[in-house]
Structures are given as structure tokens and as C-alpha cells.
């Protein structure tokens, strides 16, 4: 997640476009992990030489192609994201009341956050919530992960709730990454919907399927993404 990315499933069943092959990261960047996940998504995680130390990028693909790119810093603070379909870029406002802090989550078992988001279309919003280590662990495709609980609410400039989500995610301490898990989302209409973007395969350089841009799982229906929250969590 992903973080702050929510998956909505359409009823129509459509054929998968043919765009097999590897994805080329932007110039000066190198992919270090590909994640095939539920909800018809594959994510390529990469780092770029021109960024600040600890920054990481993620590029998300559904069966129609690239739909979301995001960058986080060393403490998993969402620096920016971009949606190719809309052309809108989102950034975290400077001077957050309580920025996200991966180090704090690891040290204390809980991290609360309160920050603003600005978009190039002129809209702004505020996100408040928490991440908490549950003490549980999980092993997915050979990777040891810790389970978290999360909850957040996003409100617009008028104070109206536009997005809420709660559920569980996974973290890897060494990579300093969140991976999506099962949960529920409310897109502002008061109706909670089940979501699950959990990882299924972790693919490293040299392994079959590395840098893939074609998702493999749950692709019998079109998946669309409503942002924010990958990257930052659900995916990232």
C-alpha cells in the first residue's frame, strides 16, 4: 500500500492486455524488489542515485499498466506520489503536526501521525491515524514479516471525511517497507468495504518474474485505485 491506496473491484470481467516483459526503471534508478500481490497488482520497488539517502520508490501496475508511483524516505514518510492517469501529483506538506515515523514504530510498537497533503489540482487534505505492531509474525513466500494494525481518516479542507481505512499490514524491518494486508475502507459514503492487497510473491534480481509489469493474481476483474493511502501503506 500502496500506502493510502484503496482497491475497488468492478463487476465486469475483461481480457488482460498483452504487455508482458520487464519494466525499465527511470534513468539513474535500480529495481531491487518485485512484489506480486492480491487484487491484481504487481509493484516494483526501486532506488534512484539522485535522491536523498534512504529514499525508495514504488511503481504499481494493474492489468491495464502503470497506475501509481510513490516515493518514501528513510522513515517511510510519503514524500510524493503520481497518478499517470490523472496527471495529479501529491506531496506531504512541510511542518507536519506529527509525521509518520518508521523508526518510532519499531522502537515503541506504535506510531501516530497527523499531516497534510497537497495536490497539483489545487486540493488539500489532512490525514490522521496510527500504525501499531501486533506482536504477530507471518512468513510469505519465504520472507519473515511482522504484522501491524493501522487506522486512518482523511478529511478535506471543509472537514468532510473523504477516506477512511483500517486493518492489518506487514512490515520488513531491514527493507523499511510496509506491505498491504487485509482490511476495510470507507471512501466517504459511510460504507465499509473489504480490501486485501497482501503480497503473494517476493521476487529478487535474477529470479524469474523480476521487474514484471503484468500482475498474476486476482485478475479476473478490473481493479481501480483510489488514492491516497501503498503506498503509503497498501501498497506501500
Q: What is the pTM of this model?
A: 0.86
The pLDDT of residue 3 is 54
The SS3 assignment for 81 reads: strand
Q: Residue 21: what pLDDT?
A: 81
Kindly state the cell numbers that stand for 231: 503506498
Percent of all residues in the chain with a pLDDT value above 90, rounded to a whole number:
81
CA distance 64 to 172: 29
Calpha distance 95→147 (Å, rounded): 29
- For residue 235 the three cell numbers come to 501498497
User: Domain extents for the chain?
Assistant: 2-231
3-state class of 32 per DSSP? strand
3-state SS of the chain: helix, strand, coil percent to 5? 5, 55, 45
Instruction: Give the tens place of pLDDT for each residue, 158-169.
Output: 999 999 999 999
**Cα 14 versus chain centre, distance:** 25
Distance CA 178, CA 156 (A): 25
Lowest mean pLDDT, pick from 13-22, 36-45, 73-82, 181-190: 13-22
Q: How do residues 85-124 score in pLDDT, each as one tens digit?
A: 999 999 999 999 999 999 999 999 999 999 999 999 999 9
pLDDT tens figures, 45-68: 999 999 999 999 999 999 999 999
75: its cell numbers? 522513515
Question: In whole angstroms, what is the distance from residue 217 CA to residue 207 CA?
Answer: 18
Residue 19 has pLDDT above 70, yes or no: no
Amino acid at each position: 500500500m500502496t500506502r493510502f491506496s484503496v482497491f475497488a473491484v468492478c463487476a465486469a470481467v475483461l481480457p488482460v492486455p498483452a504487455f508482458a516483459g520487464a519494466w525499465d526503471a527511470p534513468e539513474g534508478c535500480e529495481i531491487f524488489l518485485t512484489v506480486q500481490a492480491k487484487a491484481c497488482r504487481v509493484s516494483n520497488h526501486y532506488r534512484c542515485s539522485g535522491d536523498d539517502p534512504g529514499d525508495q520508490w514504488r511503481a504499481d501496475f494493474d492489468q491495464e499498466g502503470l497506475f501509481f508511483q510513490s516515493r518514501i524516505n528513510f522513515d517511510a514518510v510519503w514524500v510524493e506520489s503520481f497518478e499517470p492517469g490523472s496527471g495529479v501529483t501529491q506531496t506531504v506538506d512541510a511542518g507536519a503536526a506529527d509525521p509518520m515515523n518508521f523508526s518510532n514504530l519499531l522502537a515503541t510498537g506504535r506510531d501516530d501521525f497527523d499531516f497534510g497533503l497537497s495536490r497539483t489540482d489545487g486540493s488539500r487534505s489532512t490525514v490522521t491515524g496510527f500504525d501499531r505492531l501486533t506482536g504477530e509474525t507471518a512468513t510469505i513466500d519465504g520472507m519473515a514479516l511482522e504484522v501491524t494494525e493501522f487506522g486512518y481518516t482523511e478529511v478535506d479542507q471543509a472537514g468532510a471525511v473523504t477516506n477512511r481505512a483500517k486493518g492489518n499490514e506487514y512490515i520488513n524491518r531491514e527493507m523499511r517497507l510496509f506491505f498491504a494486508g487485509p482490511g476495510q475502507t470507507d471512501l466517504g459514503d459511510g460504507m465499509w468495504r473489504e480490501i486485501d492487497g497482501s503480497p503473494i510473491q517476493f521476487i529478487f534480481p535474477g529470479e524469474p518474474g523480476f521487474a514484471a509489469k503484468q500482475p498474476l493474481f486476482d485478475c479476473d476483474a478490473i481493479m481501480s485505485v483510489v488514492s491516497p493511502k501503498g503506498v503509503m501503506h497498501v501498497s506501500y
